Structures are given as structure tokens and as C-alpha cells.
Structure 1
Amino acid sequence: MRFFGISLYVIIALFFAVHAIRTRQNMYWMLILFLFPGLGSLVYFFAIYLPSLRESRGARSATRAISQIVDPNRAVREARNDFDRAPTVAHRMRLGAALLDAGKAAEALEHYQAAAVGPFSTDPALLEGLARAQFATGDASAAQVTLEKLFAAHPIARRQPVPALLYARALATMSAPGTRAAFETALASASDAAPRCLFADWLMAQPDDADRRRARELYAEIVHDAKHWPRHAREHNSEWLQRAQAGLSR
């Protein structure tokens, strides 16, 4: 039993040693872990390993999810309090973003419209938020105009994932010319599976058989790629994966 206990300490120390090497910790931790495997592992766990877990993407996502369940209005409440104390453009934009995330698009739109008047009227974050609020309230035409203003003032935004996809969605909603090209641009700057899935949805509704074949190819790409996604990517893209699977079954 004593030998088993010593072996367990060594195994735990080896686990933390591998973590120390992968995360490029100071090499004195190796000395501590192997000279004092039991106590050293305990110290490493609280000093290095546990804080690194808290900073991981998965831990942050879990924390946000728990916060939404326990106190779903916290982000809006804190942003509203900050805006009440100091009604700056930055605080108004933060409140607008929090309201959008909370599904209160109409109120968010009021704040973005108020912030868009004045010296910050061409701020890229402001214009993107305004377009998001306009689209969320069903005004795709206004979102198109706002995004074109954003692209004119900041050409790089046309190749950024969020505004590029939002522009394609706005054009698709209106069946406007340029929808196909906008989706192709969104695909080129994609950071997740959303542009492929939404483009496939649009292609599937077109009368040309070639478009529907490409739609199925895009759906199939998402389903194939999902086999190799890490857990956080699978969670982030779960909606698009389900839609792609449903599209292939049609």
C-alpha cells in the first residue's frame, strides 16, 4: 500500500510536469514536483493548474452559461447602471450590445441610433451594432445602408466575419442583387460554420439545380468537418450542424 501511495504521487507529479512543459512554466516547478511529489503537486494545483482552468475557453463559456441561468439580466443591469452614472457614448454602446444579447433589440436600436448622431457616427463598433439592431428588428434595408456606410468608412470591415455575414443576410432577406457575391465574401472571412450554412440555405431556395447541388455540398462539408471539431467548436456551431444535417436529409 505504501508503494502504491508513492506511485500515485509520482503519477500526479508527472501529470503536472507535462502541464508545466506545455504551458511553458518556469523550470523550477519541475524541481519542486519531483523533489516533493505530494506537496509539490498540491502547490502546483492551486498556484498554476486551477487558475489556468479558470482562464480556459471552456471554463469561460461555462461561467457565462451559469451566469445567464443564475442572473440572466446581470449584463444589462450593470451596463444600464454604468450608463445612468455616466451617459457616455461608450456606455451607451455597451448597453446597446447587452440589450441585443438579451433579445431586447428594439431598445438596443434606440441607444445605437442616439449614439450614431455626433462625432462617433462612423465608429466601426457603433455602426456594426446599429446594423445588428436594425436587422434584429426586421429592418434589413436599414441594416444594408448602415453596413455600406461602415464599409465606405472602414473598407477592412467588408472582410470581417460579423459585418460580412450580416450584410449577406440583409441582402438575402430582401432578395436583393449582390446576395451571392456577399455570401462568397462572408465565406472567405468565415470564423465558424454560420456563413456556409446560411449560404446553403439561400442556395437551396434558388431555382437552379446547380445552386441546390452546391447547397448540399456546403451542408456535407459542415457535417464532415464537425467530426474533427474540438468540443468548444462543436458547442459553438451546434445550431449550424443541426441545420446542415436537416438540409442533407431533405
Structure 2
Amino acid sequence: MPFLGIGFHVIVALFFAVHVVRNNQNMYWLFILFAFPLLGSVVYFFAIYLPEMRHSRGARVASRAVTQLIDPNRAVREARNDFDRAPTVQHRLRLGEALLEAGDAKEARQHFEQAATGPFAGDPAVLLGLARAQFATGDAALAKGTLDTLFEAHRVTRQQPEPTLLYARALAATNAPNTRAAFEQALTCANDAAARCLFGEWLLAQNNDADKQRAQALFEEILRDAKYWTRYAKDHNREWLQRAAAAQSSSR
């Protein structure tokens, strides 16, 4: 049994030693880990590994997921408290974003509309937030108009993933003739699978063979690329993976 215990300590020390090398930590950690496997591993875990994990993207995502499960209203509550203490535009936008994430688009829209009447009316965060809230409350035409204003005032946003995809969705919801071009533009800016999946679903609804073939190609591309994604990317795109798989199966 002592042998097994010593072996486990060494395995843990080896794990942290690999972390030292891969993350360019000071080499003296290797001496500490192998000279004192148990104590050195404990010290390294609390001094280096744990703080780094807390600030990693994966840890932040996991932390948000756990927080959402345990206390789903926390983000809204904290944002509302900050806004009540200091009703600044920044705090209003944060509250609006939290409300949108929580599914309360109606109240979120009220905050974005209020922000859009003041000196920050032309701010890109205000305009994008307002467009998101308008779309979420069923006013796709108003969302399109808000995004037109955003694109005119801040031309760089025409190359950004979220506003370009939202614009395509707003056009699709209003059956606008330039919907296809808007989705094509969204594809060139996309940083996840959402644009491909939503474009594919729109193409399927056009009810012609050429569009159905293009849709199938987009869905197949998502599913093929997913084989090489990191765990974080798969988690981030879970909804689009499921929708792509479902759409591909149903259209065959």
C-alpha cells in the first residue's frame, strides 16, 4: 500500500511537471515537485495551477454554468442592484444584457430604448442591444432599422459576427428580398456555427432543389468540422450541432 501511495504522489507530480514545461513556469518548480512530490504538488496546485484555472476560459464558462444552475437570477439581480445604486448608461446596458440572457426581452428593451434617447444614442453597444431586444420581442422590422443605423454610423460593424447575423435573421423574418445576400455576408464574418445553421434552415424553407443542396452542404460542413473542435467549441455550438443534425435527417 505505501508503494501505491508513493506511486500516486509521483504521478501527480509528473502531471504538474508537464504543466510547468507547457506553461513556461520557472524551472525550480521541477526540483520542488520531484524532491518533495506530495508537498510540492500541494504547493504548486494552490500557488500556480488553481489561480490559473480560475482565470481560464473553460473555468469561466463552467463557473457561469454552475452559477446559472444554482442561482439563475444572480446576474440580473446584481446588475439591477448596481443600476439602482448608480443609474449610469453602463449599468443600464449591463442590466439590459442580463435581462436578455435571462429571457426577459420586454424589460430589456425598455432599458435599451431609454439608453437610445440620451447622449449615447449612437453608441454601437446601445444600438446592437436595442436591435437584439427588438428582434427578441418580435419586431424584426424595427430591428432591421436599428441595425441599418448601426451600420451607417459604425461601418466596422458590417464585418462583425453578431450584428451581421442578426441583420440576416431580421431580413428573413420580414421576407426581405436581400435576405440571401445578408446571410452570405454573415457567413464571411462568422466565428461559430450559428450563421451556417441558420442560413441552412432558411435555404431549406425556400423549397427548391439548389437551395436544399446548399443547405445540406452547410449542415454537413458543421457536423464534419465538429469532429475537430475543442470541448469548449462543442459546448458553445451545442444548439447548432443539434439543429444541423436534426435538419439534415429530416430533409433526406
Task: Give the TM-score band, short-chain normalised.
Answer: over 0.9
Aligned to 2:209: 209
Aligned to 1:81: 81
Give 3-state SS (helix, strand or coil) of 1:138's partner. Answer: coil
Instruction: Report how far residue 159 of structure 1 moved.
Output: 1.0
TM-score, structure 2 normalization: 0.94
Aligned to 1:231: 231
Give 3-state SS (helix, strand or coil) of 1:219's partner. Answer: helix
Select between 43-52 and 162-171 the one with higher mean Cα deviation: 43-52
One-letter amino acid of the counterpart of residue 146, structure 1: T
- 1:158, 1:39 → 2: CA distance? 54
- 2:7, 2:249 → 1: CA distance? 53
One-letter amino acid of the counterpart of residue 245, structure 2: Q
Identity in percent: 66
Give 3-state SS (helix, strand or coil) of 2:17's partner. Answer: helix
Residues 181/47 of structure 1: CA separation in 2 closer, same or farther (3 Å cut): same
Give 3-state SS (helix, strand or coil) of 1:120's partner. Answer: coil
Deviations 1:21-79 (A, max 9, x none): 11221222122112222211111111111222222333222221221122111111111
Q: Where does 1:67-146 land on structure 2 (aligned, <5 Å)?
A: 67-146=67-146
Coordinate RMSD, CA, aligned: 1.4
- 1:163, 1:122 → 2: CA distance? 15
- 1:131, 1:235 → 2: CA distance? 26
Aligned to 2:244: 244
Give 3-state SS (helix, strand or coil) of 2:120's partner. Answer: coil
- 1:226, 1:191 → 2: CA distance? 13
Give 3-state SS (helix, strand or coil) of 1:244's partner. Answer: helix
Instruction: Report how far residue 246 of structure 1 moved.
Output: 1.2
- 2:66, 2:6 → 1: CA distance? 38
Residues 43/119 of structure 1: CA separation in 2 closer, same or farther (3 Å cut): same
One-letter amino acid of the counterpart of residue 33, structure 2: L
Structure 2: 5+ residue runs without aligned partners?
none
Aligned to 1:59: 59
Structure 1: 5+ residue runs without aligned partners?
none
Instruction: Report how far residue 118 of structure 1 moved.
Output: 2.2
Residues 37/178 of structure 1: CA separation in 2 closer, same or farther (3 Å cut): same
- 1:71, 1:9 → 2: CA distance? 37
Give 3-state SS (helix, strand or coil) of 1:51's partner. Answer: helix
One-letter amino acid of the counterpart of residue 82, structure 1: D
Give 3-state SS (helix, strand or coil) of 2:203's partner. Answer: helix
One-letter amino acid of the counterpart of residue 125, structure 1: A
Deviations 1:139-174 (A, max 9, x none): 001100111111111111111111110000000101
